[in-house]
Every structure is written in C-alpha cells, then in structure tokens.
Structure 1
Amino acid sequence: MSMKIDLRIMFFALIFAGFTSHHVWGEEDYYHQKDVFMMKCMDTIKLGTPYEDPSQPCIHAVGKYDMKRICGAFTFSDQLEVSMIKTIILAYTCHKPIPIGEKCGSRFL
C-alpha cells in the first residue's frame, strides 16, 4: 500500500518538475536579445573607441528589449568587447535607464 502512495508522489513530483522547468528555459530569450543588441549597437558600445551616437536600428533595439535583463546577461567574454559604461549611457540616452543597484556585466550600478 505505501509503495503505491510513494509511486504516486514521485509521479506528481516528476510532472510538477516538468512544468516548472520551462521558466528556466525562458531565460534564454535574454541571451538572444543580448546578441541582437550587441550586433545592432556595437558601433556605440564597443570597448576602446569613443562613444558614438546610436544608429536608428540600435535605438529601436534598445526600445524593444529589456535593458536590465540584457545587462545582466553579459558574460565575461562579452565584457572584453563591450563597454558596460557605454551600455548604461546608451540605455539612459534612449530613455530606458537601468535602475541603480542592478548588475550590468560584472559591475553593480
């Protein structure tokens, strides 16, 4: 009798785990958005170059995407190519400021 109850509990736990894992998979979208943002805005945010005014596709990308999440999605290798300071300035310029206290790359604002 207790074996049947244990199997039922395990079955429901497995089903519950299957439904909740989709939330973690949804996080991947920010990495795709980050890649598109980097491609469209590289002239503005490139490390080691002067800040340039953003292009129209860059402004559109910043307006469309969640800059707070993109900032948190930057990896160490991204930070070798992209200036986090320029990214913050770009977000502010496009009226999508990143809130103080949020993480941008490896820096906290």
Structure 2
Amino acid sequence: MNTTKVMLRVLVFSLVFTMLSTHQALGNKENCDKDKDFIKRQCESITLEEQLTISVMKVVDVAKECGNPVPPGNKCGTWTVPPQLLARVHP
C-alpha cells in the first residue's frame, strides 16, 4: 500500500513537472529572428534517431509562434504536419 502511494506521488510530480516545463521550450522573440530559416531547413532533415530526443510537434509549434509556420502536408522528421482546422464562425 505504501509503495502505491509513493509511485502515485512520483507520477503526479512527473506530470506537473512536464506540464510546467513544456511551455519554456517554446520560442521567444529574440530567438525567432535567428530560427526562422533554420527551423524550416532542419525540420525536413530530422532523423528517426533524433526524434527520440526532439519533439517535432514542439519544433512545429516554435515555427508557428515565430510567424513562420511549417505548411500543412510538409514532413517534419517522420511526422506530416496536419491541415489546420477551420475555426467555426458563429452567426
């Protein structure tokens, strides 16, 4: 019973840590100017081995935040960027 409590605490701590540290991985204004061309070129050349340490979804998010989104249908590593979902307009 005690082991279960410890494991639950470790899992909750890991989840909270992951949620809090994810946003920090996104780009900031100073790096956006340097990263625009780099992200576009590197996204296509990410290997399967590199994908074990690099989140291609975060790379796509950084590109989007920097105002240079990876176009839908393009490959980023082995992942294909999905089409944008259309926002519903309410009358």
TM bin, normalised by shorter chain, reads 0.5 to 0.7
Where structure 1 has 5 or more consecutive residues not aligned to the other structure, the ranges are 1-47
Where structure 2 has 5 or more consecutive residues not aligned to the other structure, the ranges are 1-17, 82-91
The aligned residue for residue 54 of structure 1 is: 27
Q: Is the 8 A contact 2:27 2:65 kept in 1?
A: no
CA distance in 2 between counterparts of 1:61 and 1:80 reads 25
CA distance in 2 between counterparts of 1:82 and 1:57 reads 21
Query: How big is the alpha-carbon RMSD for the aligned residues of Structure 1 and Structure 2?
Result: 2.0
Aligned residues: 61
Which of 42, 50, 54 is the aligned partner of 1:78?
50
Q: Is the 8 A contact 2:44 2:76 kept in 1?
A: yes
Which secondary structure state, in structure 1, belongs to the residue aligned with residue 23 of structure 2? coil
CA distance in 2 between counterparts of 1:60 and 1:71 reads 16
Percent same amino acid among aligned pairs?
26
Cα distance, 1:69 vs. partner? 2.5
The runs of at least 4 consecutive aligned structure 1 residues that moved more than 6 Å come to: none
Relative to its length, the structure with more helix (as a share) is 1
Which of 90, 93, 96 is the aligned partner of 2:62?
90
Alignment of 1:33-48 (within 5 A): none
Cα distance, 1:56 vs. partner? 5.2
| Higher Rg of the two aligned structures | 1
TM-score norm. by structure 1 comes to 0.47
TM-score norm. by structure 2 comes to 0.55
